[in-house]
Each structure stands twice: as structure tokens, then as C-alpha cells.
Amino acid sequence: MTSTPTVAVLGLGAMGLPMAARLAETLPVRGFDIAPARLALAQESGVVPADSAMDAVSVAQVVLVAVRDAAQLNDVLFGSAGIAGSLPAGAVVVLTSTVGTDGVAEVAAALAEKGIGLVDAPLSGGPVRARQGDLLIVVGADPSALAIARPVLEALASTLTIVGERAGDGQALKTVNQLLCGVHIAAAAEALALADRLGLDLDRTLDALQAGAAASFMLGNRGPRMLQAWDEDGAEVLSRLDIFVKDMGIVGAAARRVGLPAPLAAAAEQSYLVAQTQGLGAADDSAVIRIAAPTRRS
């Protein structure tokens, strides 16, 4: 393994493509996507297109995968078209998604039997920050696997935090992070809905709140989009609401597994679930304000 490992990026969607393009500035990158248009865009950014996922990973030292849950991770690695059998010995798989802690240690053990490492590295930041190498990444991994993946992670992250030496530690910290984020967004939505019903100027309200003890990143970031969420076209989709349906489900499952009551997380999860049943799953997560108040005060 070298300080300039060959990287395979599987899935060139909203996050995969900007990450692949960022990495291609300094590293050899192979990419695969089932959509030819995405492959063409990646090629324009210096990514070498592959004919299949197995072809993409066959010469890679580091493979980035993004999946929805642990079951999908198992399928990508060990299913009928799984890539584990095509990976060179000594390669590492970097799990960039938030899938929860269930099953991650077992996946790491199964890969280790094949001489392959698993770097548990859920990330945050969105497509723009991915292209700029400005992501926030938390990592749980064996030090030897981390050493191989580090040049890739450092090219993508402005904040890289190593939280433990076990696959699953990254997922654990990301679960805690998502509890706070999910509750903060839901609380900000209720606060701004209340301000609206009390007849306050919402722009001034946001300014005042952000200048005091009630300030938070989520209030400052989502607050302006929440005001747009009441418009006919809604806010620009920067983070889909159904992502928090998934993530707050992961939070709830983790809390139940360790016997921890988490009533605030449960209440926030219900807000996102209600929003999803009302057809807002594909909307920006700021649209959760429409659960507290469907429309802005006239």
C-alpha cells in the first residue's frame, strides 16, 4: 500500500460524484454507477469509469461505499453480485453511510477473514462540501486499516475525528450526533412556528435567537429554510427529510438496545414520521415546521 492508493467509488450520486471528483484531483480513482450519465460526468472530472462494481474494485486499495442500511451493506459486499470476492487482499472498505451499529462488527469480522479491512467512517456535510474536501468524518477502525484509508479520508475531510479502534465506533458516535441534530431541528421548527403565531417578525426573531443562549447550528442553518418551507415551492432540498426518519429510527433502536429512555428523540422521530406520511419525505428536512404549523400566519 502507498500514500497514493487507488480508490474505487461505488455509486456516483449526489455525494459519490463530488467525492470521486475531489479525490481524482490527487489520487487515481475508478468509479461505477448504473447510470451512464453519472459515469460520463465522473469521467469529465478525471475519474476512470468501470464496467461494473467488481471491475471498479479489482485493483483498488480503498473502496468507498454508501448504503442505506446494514442489510444493503451485506448485500453489496457478500450478495450474489457482491464485491468482497473481487477485492485485493490488504484492501479496505470505507463505509461512509449512517447505518447504525447493528451488524457492523460482524461485517468487519467477515471481511477480515478475507484479508480486507473495514473503516467505519460516517460523514456529514453535503455535496458542496464534499467537492471542496470540507466534510466532517468520524472514524472507528483498526489502526492498520485506518492507515491505508487515511490519505483518502484526509482529502475529503476538514474535520477528521478518530473515535475508536473498532468498526462500529464511528456509527455509535454518529448515532449520538444524529440524536442531537434531529431534536435540534424539530425544536427549532416548533420555536419558529410559535414565534409566527405570536405575531413576531421572523427574520428579527432568528437574528435575536442566534445572538443569545438559544443559538444553535441547526437553528441558524435550518431556520431561514424553515421560513421558505412555508412557500409553495418549499425550501431548496439540501438534506432530505426522510434521512432523519431513517436516522432517528437508528437512534431509537440504539437507545432501546441499551435500555436507555430517550423521550425527546422519540418525540422528534414522530414529527419526521408524520411529515413523511404527509408526503414531505423528499422535501428538505426544514419542512418539518409544517407539522407544527401547516401554513405561515397570514
- CATH 3.40.50.720 in the chain, residue ranges: 7-166
Global pTM reads 0.91
Instruction: Give ranges for CATH 1.10.1040.10 in the chain.
Output: 172-292
- pLDDT tens across 182-221, in order? 999 999 999 999 999 999 999 999 999 999 999 999 999 9
- CA–CA distance, 265 with 244 (Å, rounded to integer): 11
Which amino acid type is present at position 107? V
- The CATH classification number of 172-292 equals 1.10.1040.10
- 246 assigned to active site: no
Cα 226 versus chain centre, distance: 21
- Residues linked to residue 30 through DSSP beta bridges, in sequence order: 8, 48
Local confidence pLDDT in tens for the 298 residues of the chain: 557 899 999 999 889 999 999 999 999 999 999 999 999 999 999 999 999 999 999 999 999 999 888 888 999 999 988 999 999 999 999 999 999 998 999 999 999 999 999 999 999 998 999 999 999 999 999 999 999 999 999 999 999 999 999 999 999 999 999 999 999 999 999 999 999 999 999 999 999 999 999 999 999 999 999 999 999 999 999 899 999 999 999 999 999 999 999 999 999 999 999 999 999 999 999 999 999 999 999 6
Say if strands 135-140 and 123-124 run parallel, antiparallel, or are unpaired.
Answer: antiparallel
Catalytic residue among 38, 129, 131, 174: 174
CATH of 7-166, one of 3.40.50.720, 3.30.70.270, 3.30.590.10, 3.30.1330.40: 3.40.50.720
Which residue, among 284, 257, 57, has the nearest Cα to 171 in the 3D structure? 257
